[in-house]
Structure 1
Amino acid sequence: MVVLHLLDADDAGLIASLRGAGLPEPGAGRYFSADHYGAVIGYVGLEGEGRDLLLRSLVVLADQKARGLGSRVLAAAETAGGDLGAARLHLLTTTAERFFTRHGFVVADRGSAPPAIRRTREFADVCPASAAYLTKDL
């Protein structure tokens, strides 16, 4: 079982892991360590308030990859999003579209994103226009 623990956005392990994976530095939102049997195996973020949240920077540590843990981190993030009142998750990716579509996310037109999601730094500035935009109803 993967358990999420809330972190400060300036957590050294979080920042190093995101940099190592070529993902954007933490910005607004909540960031979590993903623990599996007491050991940190990755990180994930959720940005926003209300019914629509942006899934940010899901990363599994290099020495933990290829064990199915990314799917478990994603499931824990979806549960956390639902606990925060979200009805839908949104994300942008340039490298992991297949992973997310295998887990029920669907490709959507960026123009259809709700205003709160379009205003996020990742959506407006960080991710290129070529990034895939995906959504999932919780």
Structure 2
Amino acid sequence: MTRTEIVPAAAADLEAVRALLESANLPVADLGSRDQHFLVARDGEAVVGCVALEQYGTVALLRSLAVAPARRGAGLGRALFDAIVIEARRRGIEEAYLLTTTIEPFAARRGFVRVDRASVAPAVRASAEFRTCCPASAVCMARRL
């Protein structure tokens, strides 16, 4: 059995990331934007999870957390989420936001709280995720890092 590693995504990972996001019904329309920094979970050569951040100065949008169906429920989502928060801090991010229709309790356990969309940093509000990709019904959450 191979060891699962969480590493920065390579350009060759884009199609596997797209497939993961589509399988989780997450937005892919803006996938590959220059502002996105993906981490992937690899089991050997297979990409079995992903998560990203979009950095806008000292604020960021955390997004695109997905785990392959066969790997769900074993803590890989938690490991990916924790790894992207560490990466955000490493990059000098002071506040992170996310939009979700499914992981509000999960994010709340990691210190995120509901916020009004109008209170989100303007650069993040201008992102494609906020403007067009995520439904208006998505919960907006924030956390100081």
Give me the TM-score of the superposition, normalised by structure 2: 0.86
Does structure 1 residue 17 correspond to structure 2 residue 20? yes
User: Is 1:116 equivalent to 2:119 in the alignment?
Assistant: no
8 Å contact from structure 1 (residues 46, 56) kept in 2? yes
Deviation at 1:133, TM superposition (A): 0.2
Question: What residue number does 2:141 align with?
Answer: 134
Is contact 2:111–2:143 with CA below 8 Å preserved after alignment?
yes
The question of whether the paired residues in 2 share the 8 Å contact of 1:46 and 1:54 is answered with: yes
Amino acid of the residue matched to residue 114 of structure 2? V
> Which amino acid counterpart does residue 136 of structure 1 have in structure 2?
R
Number of the residue aligned with 1:101: 108
Q: Taking structure 1 as the reference length, what is the TM-score of the superposition?
A: 0.90
Q: Provide the rounded CA distance (Å) in 2 between the counterparts of 1:136 and 1:127.
A: 19
Per-residue deviation at 1:35? 3.6
Which of 7, 10, 15 is the aligned partner of 1:7? 10
**Identity across the alignment (%):** 38
Q: How far apart are the structure 1 equivalents of 2:13 and 2:5?
A: 22
C-alpha displacement at 1:36, in angstroms? 6.3
Once the two structures are TM-superposed, the CA of residue 38 in structure 1 deviates from its matched residue by 7.8
Instruction: Please list every run of 5 or more consecutive structure 2 residues that lacks an aligned counterpart in the other structure.
Output: none
Q: Does 1:75 align with 2:78?
A: no
CA change 1:19–1:108 in 2 (3 A) is: same
- Count of aligned residue pairs for this structure pair: 138
